[in-house]
């Protein structure tokens, strides 16, 4: 997909800056622009300087609609309300979009799914190769082990993360629940405090840790009688997410309308 034009919505955030740097360095890609929240102090700055790669002559704006129009594919790492709005804009403009935002409400989730009926969308809680392989492993293990094996999911992120459990932890829980023939809503136990009583049979428990600058650690524990199986992924650099998102954007161009995940992108 030579010469694909990519735009970054939310280019002022940590992920947005890495996306700018990754797109600028990738062969066959062109950065068409980046935008941030209206009123931000970043508006008017050079996107390359903000990303730490030097001046590239692309000024940060605040018009997501214009960026979508100018791009073959847009990548959105913003906040839930903005993401839902951008998905609607993408559908109206017939533009593909990659979404990495987590923590969406039921209404925001529905807005993204509605947009995917009109345009192709890759929506992934985590765009790293390792995590997506882990999702497959969790599904296999949960499907093979009986309900007498308890499942606990532990995740840790930096002190600034605003949603918990992480979108990736919930995705791991959904994979395990589906393999057991149920839904996560039916079996999730998202926190314990005080006298909680014994563990519910078949529950999938979550623990969310926050502190320091942890990029993202996820551990899925299968606890049986007399033994435990633990599957762990640790991210040490956010660049893995940027690379995965750019790969998803390049894959998405020219696809039919629909909601896709990283399994589709990676052929897993």
Q: What is the pLDDT of residue 102?
A: 86
**Residue 86 falls in the annotated catalytic set:** no
Residues in the chain with pLDDT < 50? 1-2
Q: What is the pLDDT of residue 125?
A: 83
Query: For the domain that residue 146 is a member of, what is the CATH number?
Result: 3.30.360.10
**What is the rounded distance in angstroms from the CA atom of residue 53 to the CA atom of residue 44?**
17
Verify that 145 and 109 share a domain, yes or no.
no
For residue 164, what are the contacts with CB-CB under 8 A and spacing of at least 6? 208, 210
Provide Rg for the chain, Cα atoms: 19
Verify that 103 and 205 share a domain, yes or no.
no
Q: What is the pLDDT of residue 1?
A: 44
Q: What is the pLDDT of residue 124?
A: 92
Neighbours of 76 (CB within 10 A): 28
Q: What is the pLDDT of residue 96?
A: 98
Range of the domain at 34: 4-123+238-266
Tracing tokens 């890609």 back to the chain, one arrives at 29
Helix (H) / strand (E) element for 223: namely strand 216-224
Task: Check 5, 86, 95, 157 and give the catalytic one.
Answer: 157
Q: What is the pLDDT of residue 126?
A: 87
Neighbours of 262 (CB within 10 A): 25
Query: For the domain that residue 250 is a member of, what is the CATH number?
Result: 3.40.50.720
Q: What is the pLDDT of residue 179?
A: 97
Q: What is the pLDDT of residue 177?
A: 98
Verify that 186 and 252 share a domain, yes or no.
no
Verify that 116 and 147 share a domain, yes or no.
no
Verify that 99 and 72 share a domain, yes or no.
yes
Verify that 97 and 163 share a domain, yes or no.
no
Verify that 119 and 206 share a domain, yes or no.
no
**Residue 218 falls in the annotated catalytic set:** no
Q: What is the pLDDT of residue 267?
A: 87
């Amino acid at each position: 997909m030579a010469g694909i034009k990519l735009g970054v919505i939310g280019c002022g955030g940590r992920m947005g800056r890495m996306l700018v740097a990754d797109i600028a360095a990738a062969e066959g890609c062109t950065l068409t622009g980046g935008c941030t929240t209206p009123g931000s102090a970043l508006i008017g700055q050079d996107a390359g300087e903000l990303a730490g790669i030097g001046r590239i002559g692309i000024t940060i704006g605040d018009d997501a609609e214009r960026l979508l129009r100018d791009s073959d594919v847009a990548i959105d790492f913003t906040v839930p309300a903005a993401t839902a709005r951008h998905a609607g804009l993408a559908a109206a403009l017939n533009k593909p979009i990659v979404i990495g935002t987590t923590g969406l409400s039921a209404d925001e989730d529905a807005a993204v799914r509605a947009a995917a009926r009109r345009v192709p969308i890759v929506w992934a809680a985590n765009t790293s190769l390792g995590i997506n392989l882990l999702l497959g492993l969790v599904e296999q293990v949960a499907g093979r082990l009986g309900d007498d094996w308890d499942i606990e999911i532990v995740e840790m992120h930096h002190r600034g993360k605003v949603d918990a459990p992480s979108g990736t932890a919930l995705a791991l829980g959904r994979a395990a629940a589906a393999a057991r023939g149920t839904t996560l809503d039916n079996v999730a136990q998202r926190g314990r405090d005080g006298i909680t009583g014994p563990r519910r049979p078949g529950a999938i428990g979550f623990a969310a840790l926050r502190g320091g600058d942890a990029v993202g650690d996820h551990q899925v524990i299968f606890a049986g009688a007399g033994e435990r199986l633990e599957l762990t992924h640790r991210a040490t650099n956010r660049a893995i997410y940027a690379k995965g998102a750019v790969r998803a954007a390049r894959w998405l161009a020219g696809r039919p309308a629909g909601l896709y995940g990283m399994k589709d992108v990676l052929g897993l």
